[in-house]
Amino acid sequence: MNLTLKIWRQKGPSAAGSFEEHKVHAEEDMSFLEMLDVLNEQLVHEKKEPVAFEHDCREGICGTCNMVINGHPHGPQRGTTTCQLHMRHYNDGDTIVIEPFRASSFPVIKDLVIDRSAFDNIIQAGGYISVNTGQAPDGNAIPVEKQDASQAFDAATCIGCGACVAACPNGSAMLFTSAKVSHLALLPQGEVENGKRVYDMVNQMDKEGFGRCSNITACEAECPKEISVDNIARMNRLYVKSVFAGTQGNEKN
Query: The whole model's pTM is what?
Result: 0.91
Residue 215 lies in a domain: yes
pLDDT at 65 over 70: yes
Question: What's the rounded mean pLDDT across residues 77-105?
Answer: 95
Q: Do 70 and 156 sit in the same domain of this protein?
A: no
Which among 110, 138, 154 is the end of a domain? 110
User: Residue 124: its pLDDT value, please?
Assistant: 96
Q: Give the alpha-carbon dihedral of 251, 125, 224, 175, to 10 degrees.
A: 50
Please, are residues 149 and 140 in contact by the beta-carbon 8 Å criterion?
no
Q: Do 130 and 90 sit in the same domain of this protein?
A: no
Please, are residues 165 and 101 in contact by the beta-carbon 8 Å criterion?
yes
Residue 251 lies in a domain: no
The CATH code of the domain that includes 177 is 1.10.1060.10
DSSP string, 229-252: THHHHHHHHHHHHHHHTTT-----
Band of residue 109 on the pLDDT scale cut at 50, 70, 90: very high
DSSP string, 15-42: S--EEEEEEEE--TT-BHHHHHHHHHHH
Which among 110, 135, 168 is the end of a domain? 110
Which among 88, 110, 132 is the end of a domain? 110
Burial (CB count within 10 angstroms: exposed 0-12, middle 13-18, buried 19+), residue 224: buried
Question: What's the rounded mean pLDDT across residues 237-246?
Answer: 89
User: Residue 132: its pLDDT value, please?
Assistant: 74
User: Residue 129: its pLDDT value, please?
Assistant: 87
**Range with the poorest average pLDDT among 25-34, 81-90, 223-232, 244-253:** 244-253
User: Residue 107: its pLDDT value, please?
Assistant: 96
Structural domain of 124:
116-244
Number of domains the chain is built from: 2
Residue 249 lies in a domain: no
